Amino acid sequence: MQTIKDVAARAGVSDRTVSRVVNGEPNISKKTRVRVEEAIAELNYIPNLAARMVRTNRSGVLGVITDVVSTTPNSVDLIRGIQDRISTSGQSILIANTSGTLEEENKVWRTFREHRIDGVLYATMYHRGIDFDPEAHAIPTVLVNCFAEGRDDVPAVLPDDYGGEEGATAYLIAAGHSRIGYITLNPAIIAARLRRQAFEDVMRRHDLAVHATWVTSGYEGPEGGESICAYEVVREILSAPLGERPTALLSGDDEIAMQSIFAAMSLGLKVPDDIAIVGFDDFQMISTRTVPRLTTVALPYYEIGLRAADKLLAMLAGEADDEVVERLPCPLVRRESA
Amino acid sequence: MQTIKDVAARAGVSDRTVSRVVNGEPNISKKTRVRVEEAIAELNYIPNLAARMVRTNRSGVLGVITDVVSTTPNSVDLIRGIQDRISTSGQSILIANTSGTLEEENKVWRTFREHRIDGVLYATMYHRGIDFDPEAHAIPTVLVNCFAEGRDDVPAVLPDDYGGEEGATAYLIAAGHSRIGYITLNPAIIAARLRRQAFEDVMRRHDLAVHATWVTSGYEGPEGGESICAYEVVREILSAPLGERPTALLSGDDEIAMQSIFAAMSLGLKVPDDIAIVGFDDFQMISTRTVPRLTTVALPYYEIGLRAADKLLAMLAGEADDEVVERLPCPLVRRESA
DNA sequence: TTGAAAGCGCTAACAG
DNA sequence: CTGTTAGCGCTTTCAA
For the CA of A6 and the C1' of C7, the distance in angstroms is: 21
Per the CB < 8 Å rule, is B46 touching A1?
Answer: no
* Residue B1 beta carbon within 7 A of nucleic strand C: yes
| Residue B141 confidence (pLDDT) | 96
Q: Locate the chain A residue with the closest alpha carbon to B48.
A: A114
Q: State which residues between 42 and 81 of chain A bring their CB within 7 Å of strand C.
A: 54-55, 57
Boundaries of CATH 1.10.260.40 in chain B? 4-47
By Cβ distance, the residue of B74, B261, B285 closest to A255 is B285
pLDDT at A148 over 70: yes
- Give the pLDDT band (50/70/90) at residue A45: very high
Closest residue to D12 (CA to C1') is A55
Selecting from 1.10.357.10, 3.30.930.10, 3.40.50.720, 3.40.50.2300, what CATH number does the domain B61-159+301-328 have? 3.40.50.2300
Q: Locate the chain A residue with the closest alpha carbon to B68.
A: A80
**Cβ-based neighbour number of residue B1 at 10 Å:** 12
pLDDT at A181 over 80: yes
Interval A50-73 mean pLDDT: 82
Using only C-alpha atoms, what is the Rg of chain A? 26
d(CA A77, CA B73): 10
Tell me the backbone φ, ψ of residue B173, rounded to 5 degrees.
-65, -45
By Cβ distance, the residue of A75, A92, A262 closest to B115 is A92
Q: Give the three-class secondary structure for A75.
A: helix
Nearest-CA neighbor of B265 among A146, A104, A292? A292
d(CA A303, CA B115): 28
pLDDT at A71 over 70: no
- Whether the Cβ atoms of residue B326 and residue B311 lie closer than 8 Å to each other: yes
User: How close are the terminal C-alpha atoms of chain A, in Å?
Assistant: 61
pLDDT at A213 over 90: yes
Q: How far, CA to CA in Å, does A285 sit from each of A126, B17, B334? A: 18, 57, 21
Boundaries of CATH 3.40.50.2300 in chain B? 61-159+301-328, 161-298
Shortest alpha-carbon distance between residue A45 and chain B (Å): 10
In this structure, the dihedral spanned by the alpha carbons of residues B192, B196, B197 and B200, taken in order and rounded to 10 degrees, is: -170
Long-range Cβ contacts of A35-40 (<8 Å, 24+ apart): A35/A11, A36/A7, A36/A11, A38/A11, A39/A7, A39/A8, A39/A10, A39/A11, A40/A7
- Give the pLDDT band (50/70/90) at residue A338: very high
**Cβ-based neighbour number of residue A174 at 10 Å:** 9
| Residue A69 confidence (pLDDT) | 57
* Residue A19 beta carbon within 7 A of nucleic strand C: no
For the CA of B54 and the C1' of D7, the distance in angstroms is: 10
Per the CB < 8 Å rule, is B95 touching A95?
Answer: yes
- Residues linked to residue A119 through DSSP beta bridges, in sequence order: A62
- Quick check: pTM over 0.85? yes
By Cβ distance, the residue of B59, B75, B290 closest to A50 is B59
- Whether the ω angle into residue B331 lies within 30 degrees of 0, i.e. cis, is no
d(CA A200, CA B12): 68
CA–C1' nearest nucleotide, residue A53: D10
| Residue B35 confidence (pLDDT) | 93
Q: Locate the chain B residue with the closest alpha carbon to A68.
A: B80
d(CA A332, CA A296): 6
By Cβ distance, the residue of B69, B258, B290 closest to A80 is B69
More confident residue, A320 or A82: A82
| Residue B72 confidence (pLDDT) | 62
Note the Cα B166 to chain centre separation in Å. 20
For the CA of B171 and the C1' of D9, the distance in angstroms is: 61
Render each residue's pLDDT in chain B as its tens digit; 338 residues: 899 999 999 999 999 999 999 999 888 899 999 999 999 999 999 999 999 999 998 888 999 998 865 456 677 788 888 988 988 887 888 888 787 788 888 988 999 999 999 999 999 888 889 999 988 888 999 999 999 999 999 999 999 999 999 999 999 999 999 999 999 999 988 999 999 999 999 999 999 999 999 999 999 998 778 899 999 999 999 999 999 999 999 999 999 999 999 999 999 999 999 999 999 999 999 999 999 999 999 999 999 999 999 999 999 988 877 789 999 999 999 999 99
Closest residue to C3 (CA to C1') is A14
The torsion region of residue B68 among left (phi > 0), alpha (psi -120 to 50) and beta comes to beta
Nearest-CA neighbor of B288 among A258, A181, A86? A258
* Domain covering A161-298, topology: Rossmann fold (3.40.50)
Mention every residue, 6+ apart, whose C-beta is less than 8 A from residue B312.
Answer: B62, B119, B120, B121, B140, B141, B142, B155
Per the CB < 8 Å rule, is B262 touching A258?
Answer: no
Q: Strand D: which positions are within 7 A of a protein CB?
A: 1-5, 7-13
pLDDT digits (tens, 9 = 90+) for A99-110: 778 888 898 899
By Cβ distance, the residue of B92, B259, B288 closest to A289 is B259
For the CA of B56 and the C1' of C13, the distance in angstroms is: 13
| Residue A224 confidence (pLDDT) | 76
Shortest alpha-carbon distance between residue A100 and chain B (Å): 12
Residue type, A56: T
* Residue B3 beta carbon within 7 A of nucleic strand C: yes
| Residue A84 confidence (pLDDT) | 86
Q: Strand C: which positions are within 7 A of a protein CB?
A: 1-5, 7-13
- Give the pLDDT band (50/70/90) at residue A3: very high
d(CA B172, CA B180): 8
* Domain covering B4-47, topology: 434 Repressor (Amino-terminal Domain) (1.10.260)
| Residue A77 confidence (pLDDT) | 83
How many inter-chain contacts (A to B, CB under 8 Å) are there? 153
pLDDT digits (tens, 9 = 90+) for A117-144: 999 999 988 888 999 998 888 899 999 9
- Give the pLDDT band (50/70/90) at residue A72: low
For the CA of A60 and the C1' of D11, the distance in angstroms is: 15
